[in-house]
A = this chain, B = another copy of it.
Amino acid sequence: MNFELSRKGQEYLEKTKKFMETEIAPIEDEFWKEVHNTCDPKDWTTWKWPVTLEVLKAKAKKAGLWNMFLPDEKLGVGLCIQEYAHIAEQTGRSFLAPMVFNCSAPDTGNMEVLWRYGSEAQKKEWLEPLLKGEIRSVFCMTEPEVASSDATNMQATAIVEGNEIVLNGRKWWSSGLGDPNAKILIFMAHTPDPSKGHHQQHSMVLVPINVPGVKIERMLPIFGDIDAPHGHGEVSFTNVRVPIENFIGGPGQGFAIAQGRLGPGRIHHCMRCVGAAERALELMIDRGMSRVAFGKPILELGGNKEKVADARIAIAQARLMTLYAAWKMDTVGNTEAMTEISAIKVIAPNVMQQVMDMAIQIHGGMGVSDDTPLARFFGAARTLRLADGPDEVHKRVITRIELKKRGYGQKNIPGKVA
């Protein structure tokens, strides 16, 4: 195990921190206030980003802090997953930073998919503008009608008819669906083929958002927060037709790609969780030391001080585990790192939720309002315990591997979580 940050990683980390301190932190509150004032939460068609976003993106791009997530020397900056994890921790402290650096979900995952599995034409048409930050993208996987924790439940269909693919189905929790820049969807669906195994019958298809038959039904709130102007949406596909070239990697490749897509994405999420928890701990300490009750700073009352230690211990462990998972992905690949990826997917959002809960408690009523980022972070953490495989599915994966290690064989462990 070696997760020493390389000199190059260190440089990017330092530059990212400085950029965040000098360019993002001073305007972030104002930025979200503008969002709040301009976007009607009930009508996503009115949503737009403050112009500041593009200004910041241009600055970040110029500073070379751009597409750092992509482990490609030319298209990204050539950081490995473990190196980028350190940077994602920093960006996770802010809701704005990931977008400024063109490193935000779900685009990062979608770009990785196109980078790894896309055809040259697909790359030209969609990957390029995504990498430039000109457009945004959506990943349509979860469905409202079935338990999506078992991906084989998927009901949406992608059927080949001549040289077209006909798409039908309904998806929800499609993040970024309300984003004014969202132009392209990756739609995952069932492509029945009795000659193949259960995990070779799903496809990923590129669907421009304005194709006939694609209908955005609504945006979904998270604990009442509609997440404008990005949004998590519900979208229906009714006899949508796209050219057969829009399969990514060909029909039936959906699960294989999903596995590849989700591994790094989970790690990015987890590191952002660590960063968010770290920021919450800072807020908690500052608040707890600046408010007085019963003659003492709040933080010194009862068990509050111990909670600082509890938070530190939990965060430190989550960070190490995430780095370890990242290092394994870099060195032995996602399949070998399955225990660690699943472990961190359970740990990081849970730790983040717990630390937010503690920090909210120290803040009193302010903690649940939008005067601090705590409530929004809380919602993000709570949601992440469900997204990309709920806690229970990841524990299931871990247990299977443990049983297998002791000789209690299980068939096909990989491919189960998607």
Contact = CB atoms under 8 A, between A and B. Distances in A.
A220 B149 CA distance: 35
Contact of A306 (B3, B302, B382, B390): B302
A365 B173 contact: yes
Contacts of A203: none
A103 interface: no
Contacts of A323: 1
Interface residues of A, number: 95
A415 B37 CA distance: 43
Interface in A179-236: 220-226, 232
Interface stretch (A14-22, A66-74, A242-250, A393-401): A393-401
Nearest to A148: B364
Contacts of A150: 292-294
Nearest to A150: B293
A285 B316 CA distance: 28
Nearest to A226: B224
Nearest to A298: B147
B406 A289 contact: yes
Copies of this chain in the oligomer = 4
Query: 5 tightest CB-CB pairs across the interface, nearest first?
Result: A303-B303, A224-B225, A150-B293, A309-B395, A223-B223
Contact of A364 (B36, B147, B369): B147
Contact of A305 (B282, B299, B318, B399): B399
A153 B297 CA distance: 12
B378 A309 contact: no
A333 to B, nearest CB: 18
A281 interface: yes
Interface stretch (A50-58, A90-98, A113-121, A339-347): A339-347
A346 B2 contact: no
Given A223-B224, A367-B386, A391-B361, A398 B308 contact: yes
Contact of A316 (B172, B306, B308, B343): B343
A63 interface: no
